[in-house]
Structure 1
């Protein structure tokens, strides 16, 4: 089951606490990346055919393809803090920060054990993200993003150190190519661009471009282009009085129907409703 994640803030990060059911629920996946911290109790965390016994202080890493679900012990229910966030946020800062989430499920240990140096290092940053998004003090979005980047950097250093030299070279090459792809897309997403055009400009095959982009970001190329277009449309809807139709075309959508469909899939509301929720008029 694939879940659709929406974000409560302009920065694409959610922080929430959750107590799993005491019975096994269906596995699910979602487009966001995720980290979970067991705050109390015990239980089991399932990742595909893998399962981990959970105790307070355990941290779990979840990418955007792996099926997973947590379950509480009936006698001592577990309670978690979860962060989920859009990988594009890290892509815009430093694509290498996505490497810890580029794992192959079968051979990856999702558990960062309680009391380990890595768990002790990342937990304060996880709770900082939750605090900033909860309290909403001035500058909270920048502070939440900064805390997420700090903990992602700690994850990168930890997992990178465990790679062989050849694995490191391969991943660095993939990240370099992905970064070049992303930079070109960010320059040209308002145009009718395709992966074939970008791959040709970079001198790599379309299949290679598609593979490294998906492995590093967890996104299909077309989905990433749509994300950039929606982000720009949100900015223009909130910060200008231009007509909704003009904004859609200006952001690179080739038809109004596509603009409305993709915008609603991403935000949960239509462009007109989005503008209305901000207390703004919606020019025809």
Structure 2
């Protein structure tokens, strides 16, 4: 089952505490990357066919492809602190930070045990992220992002040392190519752009571009372009009085119907509703008829 993750802040990070059910629920995956810290109790954490017995202080890494679910022990229910975050945060800082999450499921140990120095250090950074997002003090978004980057830097150093020299070189090359791809997209996502366009500009094949981009970010190229467009639309909806339709086209969407569809898929609400949730009035959204009912609703960006 594929879950849709929405973010409570305009920085794409969620921090929340959760107690799993005492029975096993269906496995799920999601586009966001995730870390789970067991704060108390015991239980089991399932990753596909793998399973781990959980104790207080254990830390788990979850990428954006692996099916997973946690379960509590009925006699001692577990409670977790989870961080969900979008790969674009790490991509913008240093694509190498994504490498701990670019694992192949069958050969990867998702558990960082409670008695390891890494788990203790990571727990502090995770709790800092949670504290900043909940507190909402001035500068909290930058502080939360900074703490997350520090945490992922620790993970990179930990996992990098476990890789063979050839694997390190391969992953570094993939990260560098992905960074170059992402930089081109970030410059040109407001215009019509295809994977072939950027692959040709970088002098690599389309298949290579597609593969390294997905392996590093966990996203298809088209999904990454759509994400950048939605993020820019959110910024403009919150920080300008431009008409909704104008914002959609300015951000690179080729039809109003596509803008509404992709925005709602990403955020769970329409652009107009998003602006309303911010307490902003939009007496003239420029929206026209509801795109969901138009003949263009199947149009693609």
Taking structure 1 as the reference length, the TM-score comes to 0.99
CA distance in 2, matches of 1:204, 1:35: 33
Equivalent residue number for residue 40 of structure 1: 40
1:123-178 deviation per Cα after TM superposition (whole angstroms, max 9, x unaligned): 10001011111111111111111100000000001111111111111001000000
Equivalent residue number for residue 271 of structure 1: 271
1:232 aligns with 2:266: no
CA distance in 1, matches of 2:236, 2:156: 34
Q: What's the secondary structure of 1:46's corresponding residue?
A: strand
How many residue pairs match? The answer is 284
Equivalent residue number for residue 90 of structure 1: 90
Q: What's the secondary structure of 1:35's corresponding residue?
A: strand
Structure 2 counterparts to residues 183-194 of structure 1, below 5 A: 183-194=183-194
CA distance in 2, matches of 1:82, 1:196: 37
CA distance in 1, matches of 2:245, 2:38: 46
Equivalent residue number for residue 202 of structure 1: 202
Structure 2 counterparts to residues 58-97 of structure 1, below 5 A: 58-97=58-97
CA distance in 1, matches of 2:274, 2:121: 38
1:49-101 deviation per Cα after TM superposition (whole angstroms, max 9, x unaligned): 00000000000000000000011111111111111111111111111110000
Q: What's the secondary structure of 1:76's corresponding residue?
A: coil
CA distance in 1, matches of 2:37, 2:281: 42
Equivalent residue number for residue 113 of structure 1: 113
Report the Cα offset of residue 31 of structure 1. Answer: 0.6
Report the Cα offset of residue 235 of structure 1. Answer: 1.1
1:229-282 deviation per Cα after TM superposition (whole angstroms, max 9, x unaligned): 011111111111111111111110000000000011111111111112222222
Q: What's the secondary structure of 1:16's corresponding residue?
A: strand
1:206-233 deviation per Cα after TM superposition (whole angstroms, max 9, x unaligned): 0100000000000000000001001111
Equivalent residue number for residue 166 of structure 1: 166
Structure 1: 5+ residue stretches without partners: none
CA distance in 1, matches of 2:151, 2:233: 30
1:56 aligns with 2:56: yes
1:100 aligns with 2:125: no
CA distance in 1, matches of 2:42, 2:90: 31
Q: What's the secondary structure of 1:84's corresponding residue?
A: strand
CA distance in 2, matches of 1:150, 1:25: 32
Equivalent residue number for residue 141 of structure 2: 141
Q: What's the secondary structure of 2:24's corresponding residue?
A: coil
CA distance in 2, matches of 1:236, 1:78: 41
Structure 2: 5+ residue stretches without partners: 287-301
Equivalent residue number for residue 260 of structure 1: 260
Q: What's the secondary structure of 2:148's corresponding residue?
A: helix
CA distance in 2, matches of 1:43, 1:97: 29
The alignment yields a C-alpha RMSD, in angstroms, of 0.8
Q: What's the secondary structure of 2:11's corresponding residue?
A: coil
CA distance in 2, matches of 1:165, 1:41: 39
